[in-house]
């Protein structure tokens, strides 16, 4: 499922126009991104937790040439599914 299909499903199941459903989906995604940008975790009961993990700077290798490269420090979003989510998938 991609974003367009998700918007169509939200619209159909809630009696919304696709434009309104698209605004809702965008708002949810933007809220999650904004919270993670502020390093605030997002917990959605029954779905899972979104957090940010800091990765320190490190040295790596270019797989094509084998040359050493420096990899900058970064923050990476992490998702941990809830127990109910895992059970539904399995």
- Residue spans of the domains in the chain: they are 1-38
Pair of tokens at residue 22? 């698209």
Give the number of other CB atoms < 10 A from CB of residue 7.
20
Q: What pLDDT is recorded for position 70? A: 96
User: What ranges make up the beta strands (E) of 1-90?
Assistant: 42-44, 48-55, 58-61, 68-71, 74-81
Greatest CA separation for the chain:
56
User: Per-residue pLDDT tens for 61-78?
Assistant: 999 999 999 999 999 999
Q: What pLDDT is recorded for position 85? A: 95
Give the pTM.
0.81
Pair of tokens at residue 81? 């599914």
Task: Please identify every stretch of the chain with a pLDDT value under 50, giving residue numbers as ranges.
Answer: none
């Amino acid at each position: 499922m991609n974003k367009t299909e998700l918007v169509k499903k939200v619209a159909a199941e809630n009696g919304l126009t696709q434009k309104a459903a698209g605004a809702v989906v965008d708002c949810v995604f933007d809220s999650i991104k904004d919270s993670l940008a502020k390093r605030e975790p997002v917990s959605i009961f029954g779905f899972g937790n979104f957090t940010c993990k800091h990765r320190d700077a490190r040295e790596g290798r270019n797989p094509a040439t084998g040359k050493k490269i420096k990899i900058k420090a970064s923050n990476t979003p992490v998702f941990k599914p809830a127990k109910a989510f895992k059970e539904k998938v399995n």
